[in-house]
Amino acid sequence: MSASLLTRRTLAGLLAAGALIAAAAVPAAADDDHRRDRDHRGPHTSSLVIGDVENAGRGRDNRALNSEWVEVKNTGRHSVQLRGFTLTDKQGNRYRFNDFRLEGRSSVKVHTGHGRDTHRDLYQDRRHQIWDERDTATLRDNRGNVIDTESWGRRGRHHHSH
């Protein structure tokens, strides 16, 4: 067998092996994408956190109800669509975000009472206090995955990112 024929066969074998390795790598990359999709957390939800909490609202008038709120912050550069996201307390009271986009490096306060929604303030339109002296606010994405929690009470505030 000539040297050039041997070289061509060796090269063909190497190319075939490379093609098999590349073909095996493509499904692995697709698996990673599928895993990311299964996680259901969008590319920017990790930048969402519960910020300040004000539970000082005492009384049933709208002013008192709106003095209690939970802040949701977007610490990232990109905006995040919050449609279907929820904010809940320990007792299971739930606020569901409508079509609301939280811009990058900004925040929104979710007030308990009635009001006109803006890009900085949203209102639950409730008639009773939600946030207790000891409570936990939980932010979930539109698939129910926990994004962030914030607890407060006798021992102060406790933040737990997910």
**Which amino acid is present at 24?**
A
Q: Which two tokens stand for residue 75?
A: 């610490």
Closest CA to 86 of 57, 114, 48, 55: 48
SS3 53: strand
CATH 3.40.50.2020 fits 45-161, yes or no: no
How high is the pLDDT of residue 2? 57
**Residue ranges covered by each domain of the chain:** 1-39, 45-161
How many residues does this entry show for the chain?
A: 162
Q: Tell me how far apart the alpha carbons of residues 145 and 157 are, in angstroms, rounded to a whole number.
A: 22
pLDDT tens digits, one per residue of 103-114: 999 999 999 999
pLDDT at 60: 82
**So what's the pLDDT on residue 54?**
94
pLDDT of residue 59: 80
Instruction: Give the chain's residues under pLDDT 50.
Output: 11, 14-15, 17-40
pLDDT at 47: 96
* Phi/psi-derived region of residue 125, left when phi > 0, alpha when psi is between -120 and 50, beta in every other case: left
Answering whether pTM is above 0.75, one says no
Tens-place pLDDT, residues 33-50: 333 333 345 667 889 999
